[in-house]
Structures are given as C-alpha cells and as structure tokens.
Amino acid sequence: MAEPIRKQKTNRGQEPENKRGQTLKPGASRSIGTLVQRTRASELEQVLRLRLATFEDLPQAEEGPEDPEETAEEDDPFDSMDVEDGDADVEGDFTEEDESFLPLDGIGLEVPQERDWRADVVVERIACGDTIRFVVRSGISDLLLRMSGGDPVTRSYHDGLRQRIADTLRLGQEIVQENPGFFAQQAARKKRLPRDEVRKKLGIEEERFSRLLSSMALQTPWGARVEVQDFFVDRSVSEVSDEALLQVFIEHLEKDRLEPLKDGQLVDYVNLIMQGRAQKSLKRVGVQRVRQRLGIPEQVERRRGYKENREFLDLVVLGDDPVGRWQKWERLLERLLPNLRNERAQQTVQAWLGKIEERLSQE
C-alpha cells in the first residue's frame, strides 16, 4: 500500500529560522527594509520587540572586550557619517533665562517618558546670547543600540533601521535649515518645501522618500509633534507653470516695461522653462489662463500702468482674496529664488518679497 503523500511544511509568512551561516534572499531583505521605512516611529519598538534588549540587559563599559582594536573594527551605530548633528543659526532677542529654551525631555537617547508617541527627529533649541542654535538629533537611535542577535533577519532589521536614522536625520536637518523662523517661534507658518527638489538634493530614491514622508514625525523644541509631510508640497503641472510664467516676467521685466510681452511671446519663454522641469508645454490659451490665475494683467493694461509709472507688483489684480493672492506669490517667489542665476533677477525677487511681506502685515 502506497504511503500517503505528506503536505510539505512551508515557512510562508514567517521569518526564516535563525540558523548559523544562513543568508536571506535579496527580496526578503528588501521587504524588511520596506517595513522599517513605512512604520511610524511610535510603532517601531513593537515591530522590533523580539530583537530589543532592555537598557538593563546592555553590557556595561567595564564588561566590554579587552582589546580596544576589536571594538574599533566593529560597526559603530553612531558613526559620525551616519548620525551627524545639524545646526542652523537665527538672530533674535532671546536670553538663556527664557524658560522655553530649557532642555526638553526626550532629547538624545532617552525615550520621552510622559508621551505616548515617539518622533524620528528631535529638534533641540539652544540660546547663545542673541543667537539661537538648533541641534537635530535622532529620536529612535536608542532602538539601534538595543538591537541584539546576529542572525540574518536581525541584521536586516538593523541595516534598515540604520538607513532610516541616516535618512531622517538628513531630512530633518534640511527642514530646520529652511525653517529657522518657525523653530525659533518667530514665524507662525511653515515654509513648505518642493518635494522633488529636496529628494534629489539628498539623493534618496523616490519610493524610499515617499515612505519616509508618510511615516516620519518631528518633535519641535517646544515638545509638539509635527508630521514631516506638512513641510512639503507636491509640485503639480499648474504650480510649475505658475513658477515658469512668473520667472519669465522677472527675467524680462525691463523688456516688458519697454514693450509689454504678448501672450504669444510668453509661450516660447514659458515652454523653454517648463520642458526642463515638468516635460510639459503650454499653448497660448494655457499661458493666458496661468497669467489670469496669477492676477497679471494683459499686455494693454500693463502698458497703460507703465505709462502711469506704476511698478509691476502694483499692477497685480488681487481679486476677492488679497491675502491669499499675496501668500501664493510669496510661496512662488521663495521657491523661485534658489533657481535664479541672474543677480538682477534675484534682487528683484528679494525686493518683491519685502513688499509682499509689508502688505501682508497691513491686511
């Protein structure tokens, strides 16, 4: 009588067994890395719970290896290239006695004791006379210290966590450097950054960057939790076209004052810029819509305004929402400024930003 066929036992949906010399397939290692990237910092400890030692279980300094060269060859989870403090200075009238600048709970390796959440990045604010210095620290680096086990699965979790700490620190530094006023509590609004430009600057691939933005949180110097994606905007085609048309007027302002550009002339200038940024092009009617969306008058009205010695900014049609229109211009100009190579154009943008800020303060 033939023996019954036994169903082969599989490990699908389970982690590989911890066997000596075992290696993971690249797909399994990538899956672990993806899991670490998309999990919120508050939930990471639960995901890693089987691989974390308590601080009491960690060896003390005197119990370490006797040979100092042995420890020097090991991977240091706090290597300066991976976990690097970032800082930014902003001037202001502050003193060290100001209570808001006292050291915060949860800075450094200590996990916040009175909060039920954890942030990837902690921003510490230090007052030095009239200058504020920001220090960006990791809020999850203690998990890396507590990782125990040398099996392939644990090593994959370790590598994924190490990569996340490196990425989030660099991203946190970029956010703080672009928002010193917000973190100094001198500006109520956050400066929203162009997502794709920041991603390319940091050299992070698109999928990894998207997972970071959806899961990453930042702790402010005053202890508030802020979603990192709140600091970013996705640049749609309409936003790129708005920037492109505004850039055309900035760079050809003198020409426009002598003989205002027709919409047909604007098309060529706008498409030259857009093809390099969005691989898109506009027709004449598209440029006309963008011009109207920005409140820029047509050629005849601009010519009349110039003859009355009015500045270009004074010709902008504000509509029913002057504050909203100026705020939109402010965002566009702030994003444009780093892309302008012409010194005169840069000076024009800076002057316009000053005037817009003054007008917003009067509304």
Q: Of the given ranges (57-71, 96-110, 168-182, 308-322), which has the lowest mean pLDDT?
A: 96-110
In this predicted structure, what is the pLDDT of residue 84? 35
Average pLDDT over residues 39-66: 71
Q: Of the given ranges (46-55, 58-67, 168-177, 342-351), which has the lowest mean pLDDT?
A: 58-67
Q: Name the residue among 221, 203, 59 with its Cα closest to residue 127.
A: 221
| HSE-CB for 85 with a 13 A CA cutoff | 11
Residues with Cβ within 8 Å of residue 237, at least 6 apart in sequence = 278, 280
In this predicted structure, what is the pLDDT of residue 29? 80
Looking at every residue in the chain, the average pLDDT score rounds to: 77
In this predicted structure, what is the pLDDT of residue 323? 87
Query: Using CA atoms in the order 335, 338, 340, 341, what is the torsion angle rounded to 10 degrees?
Result: -170
Global pTM value: 0.50
Average pLDDT over residues 160-164: 93
Cα–Cα distance measured from residue 193 to residue 360, given in angstroms and rounded to the nearest whole number: 21
CA–CA–CA angle 109, 114, 120 (5° rounding): 45
Are the CB atoms for 179 and 146 separated by under 8 Å?
A: no
pLDDT tens figures, 5-21: 444 444 433 444 444 44
Structure tokens at 95: 């003193």
Average pLDDT over residues 239-268: 91
In this predicted structure, what is the pLDDT of residue 312? 94
- Bridge-based pairing state of the strands 131-138 and 121-128: antiparallel
Q: Name the residue among 141, 136, 142, 160 with its Cα closest to residue 219.
A: 136
Average pLDDT over residues 117-140: 90
**Domain spans of the chain?**
26-55+82-110+118-233, 237-362
Highest mean pLDDT: which of 8-12, 31-35, 79-83?
A: 31-35
Place 192 in a pLDDT band, splitting at 50, 70 and 90: confident
65 Rama sector, left if φ>0, alpha if ψ -120 to 50, beta otherwise: beta
Residue 100 has pLDDT above 90, yes or no: no
Residue 45 has pLDDT above 60, yes or no: yes
- Bridge-based pairing state of the strands 89-91 and 131-138: antiparallel
Beta strands across the sheet bearing 89-91: 89-91, 131-138, 121-128, 217-219, 225-227
In the chain, DSSP finds a helix count (H) and a strand count (E) of: 15, 7
Residues with Cβ within 8 Å of residue 17, at least 6 apart in sequence = 11
- Amino acid identity of residue 339, one-letter, is N
248 Rama sector, left if φ>0, alpha if ψ -120 to 50, beta otherwise: alpha
Cα–Cα distance measured from residue 270 to residue 284, given in angstroms and rounded to the nearest whole number: 10
> DSSP alpha helices (H): ranges in the chain?
26-38, 41-47, 68-73, 141-146, 152-178, 180-183, 195-202, 206-215, 237-251, 253-258, 263-277, 284-294, 299-307, 322-336, 343-362
Are the CB atoms for 247 and 352 separated by under 8 Å?
A: no
Average pLDDT over residues 162-171: 95
